[in-house]
Amino acid sequence: MLSFYSASTRIVNTKRGVVECMEIALGSNYSDCDLILLHAAIGHNFQEMIDQAHELAPRAQIFAASCCGVVGREGVSESMKDIALMAVKGNDFATASVDEIYGHNSYEKSLELAKALKASGKKINMIYFLASGIDIANDRCIAALESEFGPEVTIFGATSSDNMKGFISYQAFNGKVKEHGAFAIAFADPSINIETQATHGFLAVGEPLKVTKSHGHIIEEFNHKPAWKEYLTRLGLPEDSTCGDSIPVGALGEKLSPELAKEYGNNHILRVVTKHEGDSMYYATECPVGTELWLTTRDENLIFSEMDRMVNSMKDRLNGKTPVAVFHADCLARGRFLFNRIIKEELVNRMQYPFYTHGECPPWLGMYGFGEFARLGGKNTYHNYTTALYVLYR
Residue 91 pLDDT exceeds 90: yes
Question: Residue 226 has what pLDDT?
Answer: 97
3-class DSSP assignment, residue 193: strand
pLDDT score, position 223: 97
Residue scoring higher pLDDT (347 or 114): 114
Q: 103-142 pLDDT, tens per residue?
A: 999 999 999 999 999 999 999 999 999 999 999 999 999 9
Average pLDDT over residues 274-299: 95
Q: How confident is the model at residue 339 (pLDDT cuts 50, 70, 90)?
A: low
pLDDT band of 29, cuts 50, 70, 90? confident
What is the reported pLDDT for 333?
64
Rounded CA Rg of the chain? 20
Q: Is 121 exposed, middle or buried (0-12, 13-18, 19+ CB in 10 A)?
A: exposed
Share of the chain above pLDDT 90, in %: 88
For position 335, what pLDDT does the model report? 52
**Mean per-residue pLDDT over the chain, rounded:** 94
Question: Are the C-beta atoms of residues 182 and 113 closer than 8 Å to each other?
Answer: yes
- Spatial neighbors of 35 by CB under 8 A, at least 6 apart, are 60, 61, 62, 63, 87, 88, 93, 95, 185
Residue-wise pLDDT for 45-84, tens only, equals 999 999 999 999 999 999 999 999 999 999 888 888 999 9
Encode pLDDT of 190-247 as tens digits. 999 999 999 999 999 999 999 999 999 999 999 999 999 999 999 999 999 999 899 8
Residues above pLDDT 70, as percent of the chain: 97
**Tell me, what's the pLDDT at 154?**
98
- pLDDT for residue 338: 52
Whether residue 15 has pLDDT greater than 80: yes
Given this model, what pLDDT does residue 79 score? Answer: 83
Mean pLDDT (whole number) for 340-364: 85
Does residue 340 surpass a pLDDT of 60? no
| 301-330 mean pLDDT | 94
Residue 252 near residue 293, CB atoms below 8 Å: yes
pLDDT at 341: 52
CA–CA separation, 355 and 316 (whole Å) = 11
Q: Encode pLDDT of 144-177 as tens digits.
A: 999 999 999 999 999 999 987 889 999 999 999 9
| DSSP bridge partners of 72 | 75, 365
pLDDT-derived band at 334, boundaries 50, 70, 90: low
User: 62: phi > 0 → left, psi -120 to 50 → alpha, else beta; which?
Assistant: beta
Containing 210, the helix (H) or strand (E) segment is strand 202-215
Residue 286: predicted pLDDT: 96
Flag whether pLDDT at 313 surpasses 70: yes
Helical ranges in 174-242 per DSSP H = 227-235
Q: Please give the torsion angle defined by the CA atoms of residues 41, 46, 49 and 55, in that order, rounded to the nearest 10 degrees.
A: 160
